Amino acid sequence: MIRFHGYFRSSSAYRCRIAFNLKGTPTDFVSVHLRKDGGQQKTPAYRALNPQALVPALEEGDFRLTQSLAIIEWLDETQPGPKLLPADANLRAQVRAFAQVIACDVHPLQNLRVLDCLKAEFGADQAALDAWCGRWITEGLAACEALLAARLATPFCFGEAPGLADICLIPQVFSAARFGVSLADMPRLRAIAETCNALPAFAAAHPKNQPDWEA
């Protein structure tokens, strides 16, 4: 059984949960509370698993893996269930690029450690942090909308079934709402988010449906 270390609110862990659900892969969940005990991700035991002291991390026997996109592609390549990446090399590359807009250029800028640093080093208050996060989320999601606008409209980002791009999009849309970012100019993303969130695999992965959820 795969052991999965995550946290309800982490966008990266949320991505992995959607992927596990879409693939139908059972996991043994371990909660790593990012705000308790000075951050449970910073303990020596967790750092031995993930030297970045970030969630998520995955264990299967002696095998250990970090980074949500690597985890999701590994899952897709080694586990049964519907494919999360397309078979066509050109389309697969564009799906990865879409996912990386979010996973490289949006989400890491709003990570807890980054916000903590902005507070400590630059005296940023909550309004400044919200503006910081809002700026990168708006820029990134607008680019995602533009990447999709160049393609025929489909129920999911890149076709008739959910995949890696949708898996990255939905947690970022959740986080956009948290930071008060408007998706008014992103009709395609809004429609896809509505479609995804109605599916059990996405709904069950939502932060509020996790055992470690806190309001």
Binding site residues, a copy of itself, CB under 8 A: 47, 51-52, 54, 63, 65-67, 69-71, 73-74, 77-78, 89-90, 92-94, 96-97, 100-101, 103-105, 107-109, 111, 114, 117-118, 121-124, 128, 131-132, 135, 139-140, 142-143, 146-147
Closest to 115 (Cα-Cα) out of 134, 99, 97: 134
Q: Which is nearer to a copy of itself, 93 or 204 (CB)?
A: 93
Nearest CA to 163 out of 206, 192, 203 is that of: 192
Residue found by looking up tokens 């509020």 in the block: 208
Task: Provide, rounded to whole angstroms, the least separation between the CB of residue 215 and a copy of itself.
Answer: 28
CB of 182 to a copy of itself, least distance (A): 18
Check if the beta carbon of residue 163 is closer than 8 Å to that of residue 95: yes
Peptide bond into 51 cis (omega under 30): no
Measured on CA atoms in the order 65, 68, 70, 74, is the torsion positive or negative?
positive
Nearer to a copy of itself, 131 or 191 (CB): 131
| Complex with a copy of itself: residue 99 or 205, whichever CB lies closer | 99
Tell the smallest beta-carbon distance from residue 83 to a copy of itself (Å): 14
Task: Report, in Å, the least distance between residue 111 CB and a copy of itself.
Answer: 8
Question: Would you state the structure tokens that stand for residue 11, as one six-digit string?
Answer: 């966008």
Q: Is the dihedral of CA 165, 171, 174, 178 positive or negative?
A: negative
User: Which residue's CB is nearer to a copy of itself, number 92 or number 206?
Assistant: 92
